[in-house]
Amino acid sequence: MKTRVWIIILSLAVLVCAVWWMLVSTPSYPSKIVGIYQNGSLVEKIDLNSVTGEREITLSGKFGKNTIFISHGHIEMKSAECPDKICVKHGALESSGTPIVCLPNKVVIKFESSSDGADAKTGAV
């Protein structure tokens, strides 16, 4: 076969693969599944993307009550009766940031690792 034919075949293959790759890697919405833990055990698991409207969860611990505020794509510790209120000052939970922790009442709010295999794909090879 002529060299020119090969060039055409290979460039076509590159093109097809590029289109294929674009189809495969269409951006999927990152899941925002958040877990709320108290004393190390799961209290509730919420997908922040599927939350409509606003909601509050109140947990009570040794040092009083913690109020968690949830709206679409957003979760924060609204108020706490513990002495330091570090969890309230933390603000909203960011996907790249640290989990919200209330040490006195042993409450932790953090992102759950997504279960759609995204981690397996990027981490395995």
Binding residues vs other proteins (CB under 8 A): 1, 3, 6, 10, 13-14, 17-18, 20-21, 24-25, 117, 120-122, 124-125
Cα–Cα distance list, 42 to 16, 80, 94 (Å): 46, 19, 20
CB closer to other proteins, 53 vs 123: 123
Q: What is the DSSP string of the chain?
A: --HHHHHHHHHHHHHHHHHHHHHHTPPPPPP-EEEEEETTEEEEEEEGGG--S-EEEEEEETTEEEEEEEETTEEEEEEE-SSS-HHHHH-BPPTTSPPEEETTTTEEEEEPPPSSSHHHHHHH-
Nearer to other proteins, 10 or 103 (CB): 10
Name the residue nearer to other proteins (CB basis): 25 or 52: 25
Instruction: Please report how close the Cβ of residue 24 comes to other proteins at its closest, in angstroms.
Output: 5
Report the residue number, 19 or 92, with the smaller CB distance to other proteins.
19
